[in-house]
Chain A
């Protein structure tokens, strides 16, 4: 039945979404709501300020910097310089799993560190307290690295976290201390924080350890944060096919691995939005090409592995990759064949992240489900339309405030892993090096693309489309479920996962099947609400007495 569902006219939907807004707001929002055409990709307004009061999904720069990019590395002591809340809310809430090799290994992820700024620190400055805090962290833990994260008031009162970090680093000698100016007001979303984090990690960590890494096929995994164990599954597959993972940015990673990452021969990028800067900078400085991959979805995983095989161009590796795909495929097939009849023809909406709303469309496609509408929370136009739009993107005041590092080839360490001719040959084979085609090419014609979806728009979309599943985050979860529609959280996976690789695909198929076909959705109405007057109280004939 569902397969024959009538898809509403997207142009009309667009009008409905904006008609309640004040004129100025409507005009602005209209540019972020577009009707897709995979042949001629329309322009999507993205990475612009959110309208105050509209109820956005977005968070702040600090969340993108500390929460997303730096948080998952287990052996950095991350001190948040600011009032207590910022550190508290980012404490273990992102499910970055990590597995220290031994009981002795450093792991600070379960800890929350803060300078807990008080009024006097705001009035008289907080640098002194920050330095005391850094010293105390050093004395207590003797970590390899301490990172400092500035919260909103820090930038305003003028605390120089970078100077404090330099001073303490010099003082300790054996501990790398560095700061991030990731005040929440910078940029327009988490995205600014990703960029700031990339800059800091590149400046202060990458390239510090020149020990040649072992292995024949060495790569870094960029933009994989090991939510629910995603990186573990990718590591499992890499090990099986004989690929050496030098560093992951940054799920299940360590300081040492990141410092040594420039010894790899390829960067593969998962979350394009949060980490593409790193790919570009490492390419310029060290000559390591990057390639967009997607390990979300069984077919996407196989495709990504083949791309890696092609890049290294080694026949043995390619054969090994085929063997592993062949070995993993049957268990995936067995599950999807059983589930597909129950999910086929259903519809999904994805409004999340800066890459996930794209990646997860592959899994829904494998489930026979159509993505009728999708959008990102904090992406840029290139994540929608592909990187070829980059030169056309206007740099506005909010983006201008985010530092763009001037990177040049390292005089000693620059070593192009592929010659121009080799890169050209790879391109001819269909390998997109240093490129990403974005989400919209993959979406069907007339599907709806909405950037920075507001709460109001989400309720309207659900009302109009009545999707079988909605994907977003924790703030949206119970709102949508109150409407009788299951919501899959794609930040936290509803505490499940992994969803990457072959095992992850199986997990996802099962979870979506469970969610869309759960008996509870049919139990929402009480029996007396669906019959008679809707209130019950009609006496049954056999109980009628005088």
Chain B
């Protein structure tokens, strides 16, 4: 047994988190900044933060993840990190020549009270930022929220610091991506094209974190939302924020700064969330839904009808990030499955309320906890008390899955031991069909593995 010390008996904990279902803000900020073209993320703190975040993102994407650090030592921690950040800005523009440096803070720089707005202003006043280049920032203290909060803060920072309103509206819509994979962002762009609307998608990590092998390392890959696009987002007709935790704050910021009205939708994972996404575009932009999309939907529903017997009543435990597991839970319910246990380490009343509402309506008996001590240790204990047929979550779930001998689907962040998430979306109708295929494969492979010889089925 790998997790041999996890007992069945659940005790309330107040101080100790065990096997967290979240990580800290800065990594989310780093990921978001990679979705801006020509941008170098910069971690204002100790070297370890930057190294850990780059390592984790690299393991997840199997791609170069470039980012710099202020390399705090004890002196900087005592006297403040301004000198380090100013020096870093000099070095970065001289050596790596980005269009943008996106600085995020860390628990260290936040604790000592470094003010990124003031330091970046000083950099600008001192002429350290070359003409046509930018240094933007987001405050991302690790002791607040989670990696999702950090993503959200950086995306909001991007919106606030770039968007401009010229007074002349452009015939385009902003789609603000909640935390999703490059493959998902690519799919959003495809769907918008099929729907016939012009969009500014930000951030956009497609063609950044799924870059092709060409024999050359392109430091700033071709993908990412451009500065021009970001500036123009203030003139868009409306914004669609995908994810109330990871994307909505940016939409609110845009509304405040440039009066761009917005609608918040779930990340389109599963049938009904995708329905709302398509209807959302249709309503906001006044466009009809092309047959191609209706047919896409039909294919997903077709499989749901045809394979319902393998799904109905199957018990699922899941963990992950709010904006992803909310629509995922809804999808599982639409499939006739039972989400029995759900945890998310990301704290926040908004998510708590949304998930409770969904569960109260459709699955009131589900165990659900989010925030502090909502960790995989608790989830595992719940699973020991009320066993499940399937576990869905990031790579760390494989230890529980192995110990309990239950099928496991990798979903969320980070996925350190499989590929696919960068290339094949989980969103939209076809992405959801892929997710459904994975669920079915996991369940049906298990049936095949466990079937008695006389019960082994050829056709399923």
Contacts and interface: CB of A to CB of B under 8 A. Distances in A.
In this complex, the member of B58, B112, B218 whose beta carbon has the largest number of chain A beta carbons within 10 angstroms is B58
A93 B108 contact: no
B16 A60 contact: no
B117 interface: no
A88 interface: yes
A83 B347 CA distance: 14
Interface in B150-182: none
A107 B84 CA distance: 41
Contacts of A459: 217
Given A52-B87, A478-B58, A83 B399 contact: no
A111 B55 contact: no
A51 B174 CA distance: 39
A85 interface: yes
Nearest to B5: A141
Interface in B82-108: 84-85, 87-92, 94-96, 106-108
A483 B213 CA distance: 8
Interface in B332-374: 345, 372-373
Contacts of B71: 49-53, 56, 58, 188
B198 interface: no
Interface in B52-97: 52-56, 58-59, 62-77, 84-85, 87-92, 94-96
Interface in A84-136: 84-93, 103, 106-108, 110-119, 121-122, 129-136
Contact of A475 (B54, B214, B373): B54
Interface string A159-196: 00000000000000000000000011111110000000
Nearest to A523: B213
Contacts of A50: 47, 71
B18 A455 contact: no
Interface size class of A (residues with CB under 8 A): 35 or more
Interface string A447-484: 00000001110010000000000000111011111111
Given A63-B48, A185-B72, A111 B89 contact: no
A483 B73 contact: no
A121 B211 CA distance: 41
Contacts of B2: 107, 110
B455 interface: no
Interface stretch (A149-157, A201-209, A251-259): A149-157
Interface string B11-38: 1011111111011111100000000000
Contact of A114 (B14, B17, B48, B111): B17
Interface stretch (B139-147, B261-269, B284-292): B139-147
Contact of A474 (B59, B106, B377): B59
B64 A84 contact: no
B307 interface: no
A456 B49 CA distance: 20
B52 A85 contact: yes
Contacts of B324: none
Contact of A21 (B17, B67, B95): B95
Contacts of B66: 55, 455, 479
B77 A185 contact: yes
A58 B51 contact: yes
Contacts of A111: 3, 5, 18-19, 377
Given A185-B108, A483-B217, A115 B47 contact: no
A134 B13 CA distance: 11
B4 A475 contact: no
A93 B57 CA distance: 13
A401 interface: yes
Nearest to B211: A482
A117 B143 contact: yes
Given A140-B11, A401-B74, A85 B26 contact: yes
Contact of A151 (B3, B73, B107): B107
B7 A53 contact: no
B366 to A, nearest CB: 24
A84 B345 contact: yes
B215 interface: yes
B452 interface: no
B459 interface: no
16 contacts: A53-B90, A63-B52, A90-B52, A107-B2, A110-B3, A114-B16, A114-B20, A116-B17, A119-B141, A132-B16, A140-B7, A152-B111, A153-B143, A474-B58, A478-B58, A484-B216
Given A136-B15, A152-B72, A475-B51, 15 more contacts: A55-B66, A58-B71, A83-B107, A83-B143, A84-B20, A89-B56, A91-B396, A110-B3, A111-B377, A112-B19, A118-B372, A122-B143, A152-B77, A156-B77, A456-B95
Interface of A: 20-22, 25, 49-63, 79, 82-93, 103, 106-108, 110-119, 121-122, 129-137, 139-141, 151-153, 155-157, 183-189, 397-398, 401, 454-456, 459, 473-475, 477-484, 524-525
Interface of B: 1-5, 7, 11, 13-20, 22-27, 42, 45-49, 51-56, 58-59, 62-77, 84-85, 87-92, 94-96, 106-108, 111-112, 141-144, 146-147, 211, 213-218, 345, 372-373, 377, 396, 399
